[in-house]
Structure 1
Amino acid sequence: MFTMEKLETDASLRRDARRPASVGSVDTHAHVFERGLPLTRQRRYAPDYDAPLDTYLAQLDAHGISHGVLVQPSFLGTDCSYLLDALRRAPERLRGVAVIGRECAKDTLTEMADAGVAGIRLNLIGHADLPLDHWVSGQTLAHVRELRWHVEVHAEAARLQGIVEPLLEAGLNVVVDHFGRPDPDLGVRDAGFRRLLELAHTQRVWVKISAAYRNWCGLRTGDDDMHEAVRLLKAAFGLSRLMWGSDWPHTQYEAQEHFAHTLELLCALLPDGEERNAVLADTAARLYMFDDGHQVSA
């Protein structure tokens, strides 16, 4: 079992499963859901099991992780009611990333902010390569910017530049999912991944070191290409713009992945404890507004 000592977190963080004393470590990418929820018609996959909040919080506790970020699953579409309910059940421990329609009223977004949402997600894997305005309007992006939210982008590395640059031009901060999703056959040689590195100079792009198994086939902790990807991301973005996520419950990879392994992999990729703690806590605490006294409205 992965130990709290190895992560260098404070055991006191486990005093209260829902109200930890401080931000010691953050899992910036997880999903919660149950069977029977309404599914979007355009979906690549739908799980046949439950991944409820209590089970996720138990994973955090078992591995000494103080806080978590719940990301709306793609198969639930823009109906974020289950996500918002989960956030309201653990307001000081959780933040959320929502999926919204192209036009989303400011009042709706503000209600989401009150529940703990800190950003929106564009999950464009498997979708046509269309202009940004097809997915989210300029007016909606303006509301997102006013709330100090970010836009999380999940797309193949080859498409990232065409998605991220318009968001930056609109004044948004951007989080890129899962190492930037380089082509598994190309790895760090993927030209799209190299262009992602060039976006680091904007100082408004963050990258999640998460779901490595979606990029590297036959994943091993010693995979040279994966280590090279982290080295390049560190050199370009610095530790202050990298974050870790478990991708729990590892949809489509449930049979071969588990929470502890994602932490073991992080330690292999970032063996230096100070570097690892910077990625685990400092950056995520700021970006997801854990450190601004956020409280859910009564």
Structure 2
Amino acid sequence: MTSYEHGLTRRQFAAGIAALSAGGIVSKVRAEVPKLSIDTHSHVFHRGLKLAAGRRYAPDYDAPLALYLQQLDQNGMTNGVLVQPSFLGTDNSYLVECLKATNGRLRGIAVVDPAVAADELRALDRAGVVGIRLNLVGQTLPDLALPEWKALLAEVKAMGWQVEIQRKAADLAMLAPRLLDLGVNVVLDHYTLPDPKLGIDDPGFQAVLKLGASRKVWVKISAPYRNGPNGEAFAKQAYPLLRTAFGVDHLLWGSDWPHTQFEATQNYAKNRKFLDELVTDADERARVLASPRALFRF
């Protein structure tokens, strides 16, 4: 590991070596490793990009890379994860462009066609993509027994990628075990999206909690507002259950910036502040923010 990765400048590192060579008595030389604070769920886009056919929604504003990096800096976040927006379909070119521009500060979750070529997946991997997203809201559930899905998921497993899913909890409880049977890591979006009327009492949510025993499922504690008008109250009920079932190291915080379709009521700082209310213990909160390191290869 280089001195820079330990948070030292070249001058500070040289000064330390000079002190040692001068014969000073040093009982312990320790470089503080910067604490990672990782935002695992965000989107970037601008209106010049080609939109996918059959999209459910398209924004009428820009959320470019520079503006996202500003959000990270202003809120004390060291790293971020860009998730391909559904309205851009399988054209991940802007996502890749942004990853390459930030020299490892960001990672990506791509959207691909199940019949994608292995070479394309490897190119995405080299660019900093670490998984694929299945945004299944309003979509037919995929038949994972089909040859193209088996081939894709075999590649995902071989590369150590994750499969991130956005879908209601009742369907996740059926779909996630099938993915686990194929040996891939699974990430569930936005508290697993139980029925807002039932909240933690949703049988689907209760079934998802049992997946924690696999140690191959992670849950994003992100976008409580996508869980109905009482989303924050639900999140505060759900968090201790998720923590018990999955463990702090399998819970992932995400800003969901720029909060598509909720822009009028949400912003980055508000969502980061809610994490402080949700996870009141500072050490536990720091663990939540740093735990994505291995999964996302930071």
* TM tier, smaller: 0.7 to 0.9
Matched, 1:275 2:275: no
Residue type of the partner of 2:280?
P
Query: Which of 250, 253, 256 is 1:247 aligned to?
Result: 256
Q: Which residue does 2:126 correspond to in 1?
A: 114
Matched, 1:284 2:296: no
Larger radius of gyration: 2
The CA deviation at 1:91 is: 2.5
Residue identity over aligned pairs, in percent, reads 49
Query: Which of 184, 200, 208 is 1:196 aligned to?
Result: 208
Residue type of the partner of 1:276?
R
Query: Which of 73, 79, 98 is 2:85 aligned to?
Result: 73
Q: Which residue does 2:275 correspond to in 1?
A: 266
Residue type of the partner of 2:196?
P
Question: Residue 68 of structure 1 contacts residue 94 of structure 1 at CA under 8 Å; is this kept in 2?
Answer: yes
Where 1:174 maps in the other structure, the secondary structure is: strand
Q: Which residue does 1:16 correspond to in 2?
A: none
Q: Which residue does 2:190 correspond to in 1?
A: 178
Task: Summarize the Cα distance change of 1:113–1:41 in structure 2 as closer, same or farther, 3 Å threshold.
Answer: same
In 2, Cα distance between the equivalents of 1:23 and 1:116?
21
The CA deviation at 1:44 is: 1.3
Deviations 1:53-95 (A, max 9, x none): 0000000000110000000000101010010001000022000
Residue type of the partner of 1:289?
R
Query: Which of 101, 105, 114 is 1:89 aligned to?
Result: 101
Deviations 1:184-232 (A, max 9, x none): 1111111111111011111100000001000031455xx2x32110010
In 1, Cα distance between the equivalents of 2:224 and 2:76?
21
Q: Which residue does 1:293 correspond to in 2?
A: none
TM-score (norm 2): 0.87
In 1, Cα distance between the equivalents of 2:197 and 2:145?
31
In 1, Cα distance between the equivalents of 2:286 and 2:146?
38
Q: CA RMSD in A?
A: 1.7
Question: Residue 144 of structure 2 contacts residue 150 of structure 2 at CA under 8 Å; is this kept in 1?
Answer: no
Between stretches 102-111 and 244-253, larger displacement belongs to 102-111
Higher relative CO (CA 8 A, sep ≥ 6), structure 1 or 2? 1
The CA deviation at 1:22 is: 4.3
The CA deviation at 1:45 is: 0.7
The CA deviation at 1:107 is: 0.9
